[in-house]
Amino acid sequence: MGGLGRLGGAPAELERARKAAQQLKGDLMKNLTAALAEGGAPQGVRVCAEIAPGIAAGLSKDGMTVRRVTTRPRNPANAPDAWETAQLEGLAAAHARGQMPAEIAEVVEAAPAGAARGTARELRYLSPLTIAAPCLQCHGDPAGIDRR
Protein backbone atom coordinates (compact mmCIF):
# COMPACT_ATOMS: atom_id res chain seq x y z
CA MET A 1 0.00 0.00 0.00
CA GLY A 2 1.29 3.46 -0.85
CA GLY A 3 2.25 5.83 1.89
CA LEU A 4 2.84 9.52 2.25
CA GLY A 5 6.55 8.89 2.70
CA ARG A 6 6.83 7.90 -0.98
CA LEU A 7 5.67 11.28 -2.31
CA GLY A 8 9.00 12.98 -2.69
CA GLY A 9 8.41 16.36 -4.35
CA ALA A 10 4.62 16.30 -4.73
CA PRO A 11 3.31 18.37 -1.77
CA ALA A 12 1.39 20.87 -3.93
CA GLU A 13 -0.29 18.09 -5.91
CA LEU A 14 -1.11 16.27 -2.70
CA GLU A 15 -2.77 19.35 -1.26
CA ARG A 16 -4.83 19.79 -4.45
CA ALA A 17 -5.92 16.14 -4.22
CA ARG A 18 -6.88 16.53 -0.56
CA LYS A 19 -8.92 19.65 -1.27
CA ALA A 20 -10.71 18.01 -4.20
CA ALA A 21 -11.54 14.93 -2.11
CA GLN A 22 -12.92 17.06 0.71
CA GLN A 23 -14.94 19.13 -1.76
CA LEU A 24 -16.40 15.98 -3.34
CA LYS A 25 -17.34 14.55 0.05
CA GLY A 26 -18.87 17.81 1.27
CA ASP A 27 -20.84 18.51 -1.90
CA LEU A 28 -22.03 14.92 -2.11
CA MET A 29 -23.27 14.90 1.49
CA LYS A 30 -24.93 18.32 1.12
CA ASN A 31 -26.78 17.21 -2.02
CA LEU A 32 -27.65 13.81 -0.55
CA THR A 33 -29.06 15.25 2.68
CA ALA A 34 -31.23 17.71 0.76
CA ALA A 35 -32.45 15.06 -1.68
CA LEU A 36 -33.34 12.59 1.06
CA ALA A 37 -35.29 15.27 2.93
CA GLU A 38 -37.13 16.19 -0.27
CA GLY A 39 -37.93 12.77 -1.71
CA GLY A 40 -36.47 9.95 0.36
CA ALA A 41 -34.37 7.10 -1.01
CA PRO A 42 -35.37 7.53 -4.69
CA GLN A 43 -34.00 11.08 -4.67
CA GLY A 44 -30.91 9.89 -2.78
CA VAL A 45 -30.23 7.30 -5.47
CA ARG A 46 -30.45 10.09 -8.07
CA VAL A 47 -27.77 12.07 -6.23
CA CYS A 48 -25.31 9.17 -6.15
CA ALA A 49 -26.09 8.00 -9.69
CA GLU A 50 -26.48 11.30 -11.53
CA ILE A 51 -25.27 14.27 -9.49
CA ALA A 52 -22.09 12.82 -7.90
CA PRO A 53 -20.44 12.13 -11.28
CA GLY A 54 -21.07 15.75 -12.25
CA ILE A 55 -19.53 16.99 -9.01
CA ALA A 56 -16.45 14.83 -9.65
CA ALA A 57 -16.24 16.02 -13.27
CA GLY A 58 -16.39 19.64 -12.10
CA LEU A 59 -13.46 19.02 -9.76
CA SER A 60 -11.44 17.27 -12.48
CA LYS A 61 -9.24 19.98 -13.96
CA ASP A 62 -5.66 20.97 -14.62
CA GLY A 63 -4.62 17.35 -15.18
CA MET A 64 -6.38 16.02 -12.07
CA THR A 65 -9.10 13.38 -12.36
CA VAL A 66 -11.57 13.07 -9.50
CA ARG A 67 -13.88 10.07 -9.31
CA ARG A 68 -15.45 7.57 -6.96
CA VAL A 69 -14.24 3.97 -7.15
CA THR A 70 -15.39 0.81 -5.44
CA THR A 71 -14.76 -2.90 -5.62
CA ARG A 72 -18.54 -3.38 -6.04
CA PRO A 73 -19.54 -0.73 -8.59
CA ARG A 74 -23.14 -0.28 -9.62
CA ASN A 75 -21.88 1.94 -12.43
CA PRO A 76 -19.06 0.42 -14.54
CA ALA A 77 -17.42 3.86 -14.68
CA ASN A 78 -16.71 3.48 -10.95
CA ALA A 79 -14.75 0.24 -11.38
CA PRO A 80 -11.19 0.50 -10.05
CA ASP A 81 -8.06 0.13 -12.14
CA ALA A 82 -5.28 -2.22 -10.98
CA TRP A 83 -3.63 0.31 -8.65
CA GLU A 84 -6.98 1.32 -7.15
CA THR A 85 -7.99 -2.34 -6.69
CA ALA A 86 -4.82 -3.06 -4.72
CA GLN A 87 -5.32 0.03 -2.56
CA LEU A 88 -9.02 -0.71 -1.96
CA GLU A 89 -8.13 -4.24 -0.87
CA GLY A 90 -5.58 -2.75 1.53
CA LEU A 91 -8.20 -0.33 2.86
CA ALA A 92 -10.65 -3.17 3.44
CA ALA A 93 -8.02 -5.13 5.37
CA ALA A 94 -7.10 -2.05 7.42
CA HIS A 95 -10.77 -1.36 8.14
CA ALA A 96 -11.23 -4.96 9.32
CA ARG A 97 -8.34 -4.40 11.75
CA GLY A 98 -9.87 -1.11 12.91
CA GLN A 99 -7.02 0.88 11.36
CA MET A 100 -8.68 2.80 8.50
CA PRO A 101 -6.26 5.43 7.14
CA ALA A 102 -7.59 8.87 6.21
CA GLU A 103 -5.84 8.71 2.83
CA ILE A 104 -3.47 6.83 0.59
CA ALA A 105 -1.10 8.74 -1.66
CA GLU A 106 1.70 7.51 -3.86
CA VAL A 107 3.70 8.84 -6.78
CA VAL A 108 3.78 6.16 -9.47
CA GLU A 109 5.33 5.75 -12.89
CA ALA A 110 2.80 6.69 -15.56
CA ALA A 111 4.23 6.32 -19.03
CA PRO A 112 1.76 7.40 -21.71
CA ALA A 113 1.00 4.80 -24.39
CA GLY A 114 4.03 4.41 -26.63
CA ALA A 115 6.35 6.37 -24.33
CA ALA A 116 9.42 4.97 -22.62
CA ARG A 117 8.88 3.75 -19.07
CA GLY A 118 10.01 6.19 -16.45
CA THR A 119 9.17 9.24 -18.55
CA ALA A 120 6.26 10.44 -16.43
CA ARG A 121 5.19 10.23 -12.84
CA GLU A 122 1.80 10.93 -11.33
CA LEU A 123 0.30 11.25 -7.91
CA ARG A 124 -2.32 8.61 -7.14
CA TYR A 125 -4.57 9.49 -4.22
CA LEU A 126 -7.43 7.77 -2.43
CA SER A 127 -9.47 9.15 0.42
CA PRO A 128 -12.14 6.79 1.78
CA LEU A 129 -15.70 7.95 1.32
CA THR A 130 -17.17 6.35 4.41
CA ILE A 131 -20.79 5.38 4.82
CA ALA A 132 -22.69 7.86 6.99
CA ALA A 133 -26.22 7.55 8.39
CA PRO A 134 -27.93 9.16 5.34
CA CYS A 135 -26.14 6.69 3.03
CA LEU A 136 -27.74 3.74 4.79
CA GLN A 137 -31.18 4.68 3.48
CA CYS A 138 -30.04 3.25 0.13
CA HIS A 139 -26.84 1.32 0.92
CA GLY A 140 -27.99 -0.39 4.13
CA ASP A 141 -30.02 -3.52 4.73
CA PRO A 142 -32.28 -3.96 1.67
CA ALA A 143 -35.22 -4.81 3.95
CA GLY A 144 -35.07 -1.32 5.44
CA ILE A 145 -34.85 0.67 2.20
CA ASP A 146 -37.77 3.01 1.51
CA ARG A 147 -38.70 2.27 -2.12
CA ARG A 148 -41.37 4.94 -2.61
Q: Quote the pLDDT of residue 119.
A: 60
**pTM passes above 0.75:** yes
pLDDT for the residue 30: 96
d(CA 138, CA 75): 15
What pLDDT is recorded for position 5? 43
- The pLDDT score that the predictor gives to residue 136 is 82
Q: Kindly give the confidence (pLDDT) of every residue in the chain, 148 residues in length, as a single tens digit, with 9 standing for 90 and above.
A: 334 444 555 689 999 999 999 999 999 999 999 999 999 988 999 999 999 999 999 999 998 999 999 998 888 988 999 999 999 999 999 999 999 899 999 998 876 655 555 567 889 999 998 888 888 887 776 565 555 5
